[in-house]
Chain A
Amino acid sequence: MKLSDKPLSAKEIAAGIKNKTFSATEIVRNSLSRIDKLDGDIHAFLAVTGDQALLRAKEIDEMVSKGEDPGILAGVPIGIKDNICTRKVATTCGSKILNEWKPPYDATVIEKLRSQGAIVVGKTNMDEFAMGSSTEHSAFGPTRNPHNINCVPGGSSGGSAASVASGMVPLALGSDTGGSIRQPAAFCGVVGLKPTYGLVSRYGLVAFASSLDQIGPFSRNVEDSVLLSNAIMGHDPLDSTSLDIETPPIKIDIDKGVKGLRIGIISEFLEGISPEISKAIELACKYLEEGGGQIESCSVPSVRQSLSAYYLIAPAEASSNLARFDGVRFGMRVDGKNAEEMMVNTRTAGFGNEVKRRIMLGTYALSAGYYDAYYGSAQKLRTLVIRDFKSAYQKFDVLLSPTTPTTAFEIGAKVDDPLTMYLSDVCTIPTNLAGHPAISVPFGHDSKGLPIGLQVLAPALKDNLTLRVAKYLESAVEKANV
């Protein structure tokens, strides 16, 4: 059969392969040719693993012809953020310092994807070590927004977001430390979920800030987000922060709508946002009310200081995590007359400016004499954020906010002004500090045609509620456009 031009969803692909409407080989060829056609302009991928993907597709096709079930993602092409380890396939973290390092093991999520029939077609571009909000801090050049190639795709998982938005792949994995899934999802007009901390194994995710990092799915619709979530969630003994609980499949109630749900609009995040995003929130409230949701304004006071706390906590953890890049065990080495000089030379040549900036900031925040004033205060603020959310969730089932204060900005606009760049994560950061789930769902476009994303937040382990409200908003937008 001829595959249509409109990209298929992951659900449609898996169903079509299982009932032999088309083969996994055709699907993977289609994905590879789309990458070939579009990625020269967009640069979503750092590496395309076409040969391996076609081999795997053949295996999937053989399974289907023998009547075996390849899994819930049978033959579905997927892009993997390049900070997730893939055995024998270069994993760069968008950095020169790893120098085409080929991990000797697969991340747990990669094994889970394989066991569900998904096919990795490549590694996606990112801000170096996931530090950034625009993918401009990749050592291998920026990714461009498929909606306007003069704009950034967001970051740090910009390659994953752009690969899905442009239809190169129906699914991608990203990682979210302060918004690195949701912010690029909003900028690129796709769905991005940051699951509850501990629901997805981080084994094989190169650590940035271990108390905040979480792997999560990108997709073009909410249903596919559910599909990919179900494939990757679950306890993993190899990750000591992995939650040892039964993870129920989260598809069950996403079609239930919002009737009776108490929905709080975070008032702090309505300040200083673009008027068009403000309008989108108003419209979303109208739809939610029409669906029987109870809407009310909700204050979460400490989110105001969350950005400051994050930019002390995350760099502090990063300065420790990135100490391992010392030219000894992996990646590049720049020689010196002794081991220490070699380490200094390697790190100086291998890390980009944003990574150096955060390592310095973190080292400073942890250094003697400043620890209490900076890192210590930030940790206390984190307690307040958790308390404030807890009290908000006594009144509300979910909270709603914009994902970002503006739509995608132009390439180069903020790259020399770190603080302004950091401010684009203001709405997404508190969720990471609390360890809660939150999703960004596309909700129309601004007058320049750039996507707007809305964020649905919920308490820990209520990932299904974020997906349920996102699904309702997605359907409301679809209906309104008809």
Chain B
Amino acid sequence: MIEARGLARTFTGKHGRVEAVRGVDLSVAPGEIVGFLGPNGAGKTTTLRMLTTLLAPTAGTATVAGRDLRADPGGVRRRIGYVAQGGGTDPSVPAGEELDLQARLYGVDGRAQRIAELCARLELEGLWDRPCGALSGGQRRRLDIALGLVHRPPLLFLDEPTTGLDPQSRGNLWEHIRSMRAGDGTTVFLTTHYLDEADALCDRLLIIDRGRIVAAGTPAELKRRVAGDVVTLQLADPSGAARAREALSRHRSVRKAVAAGGAVRLTVEDGERQLMSLVRTLDAAGVELASLNLARPSLDDVFLTVTGRSLRDAA
């Protein structure tokens, strides 16, 4: 659905040249929900604006929804939907009028029916005459998405879709994005700087930092590959900690073992599968276990490992 090679954008301004995006390669398959994760200023929005024909790349090529980005931007536009970070509605214009205009601009057949269908699906019924400025944050976001979907695009771009929404509206929006893919097979490419969003919503993630993609994979793959799981073993008898650490550090799946207080903290590859074996090792060493905890690494850990900075600090 998207194939980009060496996509780059350099801005030349008063303060010299800024390489916002420095050679991005990416592939997105039909039907995927792909998340573009990175701190503010990493180049997410610039990449998105290039892929949606809003910004000409200074280098590189891309095929978007089957059309060449440089040779046929009009073809790309007809096949994609784009929802900008701040939305794109006029506060004084009634919601229905925005939808109607959008459908007319795309030349949608059966306009009224399509709009009614979208309003039903995105819980926008009864808001036709309401000025966009009078809608709630969640409603406006759903309207933005309806505007992006009015022409049934096979590919939808969402720039920071849930920024500024309350937790309930966020969850609700995730549901809508998932159901879009389930119902129409819509491919979704979204940017986010929320780890939980990337984790909960995306099939695959691309991590971008300082204009380059630094890691790619499913959320689970990324976490497994980069960080490993953290297993904390609380011992019944604190004095056995040193012995336990000694025994466990020889286990083949353990990368790192630290004894602290009455507990041993392990960094383990594929921790879930290794739990049983770790307990047996402990048993063989004659150490009694009080409790056991397995923590999956967060995407923040991934980001930290890949870039050397925490996503929270970077943002």
Binding partners A and B: no
- Spell out B's residues near A (CB within 8 Å): none
- Spell out A's residues near B (CB within 8 Å): none
